Amino acid sequence: MAIDAANAATRMRDAARGGDAAAQATLGQLYLDGHGLPRDAAEGFYWFQEAAHRGVPMAMNMVGRCHENGWGTQVDHDRAAAWYRRAADHGLDWGFYNLAHAHANGRGAAQDVARAFALFAHAASMGHARAMYFLGHYHEHGLSVPVDVARACALYEKSAELGDYRGRCAWASVLAGRGQVDDAAALLRAAIPDAPGHFLEPLAGALDASPHQALHDIATQIRASGRS
């Protein structure tokens, strides 16, 4: 399998060097992830830029991600937001989603909860599972719109169905509150492999506070995994 991945990466690199924009975007991700090639964020950033300047929307988004997180370049929130805006202008759901966060947090864009809500809503309307979760959060807590718990729950459920780990955890919380503990536990177990470590420790803490032993057990499993 490693040999196959390396061979595929070599073919992708040849195509990228030949000017294939889609291959350049893919090669950038291969370098960023270290899949079939040595992990090299700077090389990934270079190839994302090449593809972005050739009009690949996802590459535009990834240039923004590199600027936001310092992957292969310096952290620059202004440039990150500018690239997210460019990706959104090209109709990319991830562009709308990441630009929404820029406005929500006031990083690289004016802090504007209403604008963030509108951008999350647009991404969600395109089927973006993670945007559905955040849109649900806005409805649940009355951010920019009146509180609408039913709408929030519907968005959490849909996000969970589409496989987003945040959506699964939010919907699990709703189900646990309704007494559907086994269903909630199953969703949490499905969410954990995809969730980053910084998300898992607060999740474990929340599960500790649950009255249900099955959810306490999941908190124990999270901590035993060493990922929290």
Give me the pLDDT at residue 5, please.
84
pLDDT tens-digit readout, 80-126: 999 999 999 999 999 999 999 999 999 999 999 999 999 999 999 99
Is the confidence at residue 2, as pLDDT, over 80?
A: no
Give me the pLDDT at residue 227, please.
77
Average model confidence (pLDDT) across the chain: 96
6-15 contact pairs (CB < 8 A, 24+): 6/36, 6/37, 7/36, 8/36, 9/35, 9/36, 9/37, 10/36, 13/37
> Which residues, in sequence order, are CB contacts of 96 under 8 Å at separation 6+?
88, 119, 120, 122, 123, 126, 128, 131
pTM of full prediction above 0.85 = yes
**Is residue 179 left, alpha or beta, with left meaning phi > 0 and alpha meaning psi from -120 to 50?**
left
* Helix pair angle (165-177, 149-161), 10° resolution: 130
Terminal-to-terminal C-alpha distance of the chain: 29
Give me the pLDDT at residue 95, please.
98
What is the full DSSP assignment across 170-190?
A: HHHHHHHHTT-HHHHHHHHHH
Give me the pLDDT at residue 102, please.
98
Confidence at 226, pLDDT banded by 50, 70, 90: confident
Give me the pLDDT at residue 85, please.
98
pLDDT tens-digit readout, 173-209: 999 999 999 999 999 999 999 999 999 999 999 999 9
Give me the pLDDT at residue 171, please.
98
Give me the pLDDT at residue 1, please.
56
Q: Which region among 29-38, 159-168, 218-227 has the lowest average model confidence (pLDDT)?
A: 218-227
Is the confidence at residue 4, as pLDDT, over 90?
A: no
List the alpha helices (DSSP H) in 37-76.
41-52, 57-69
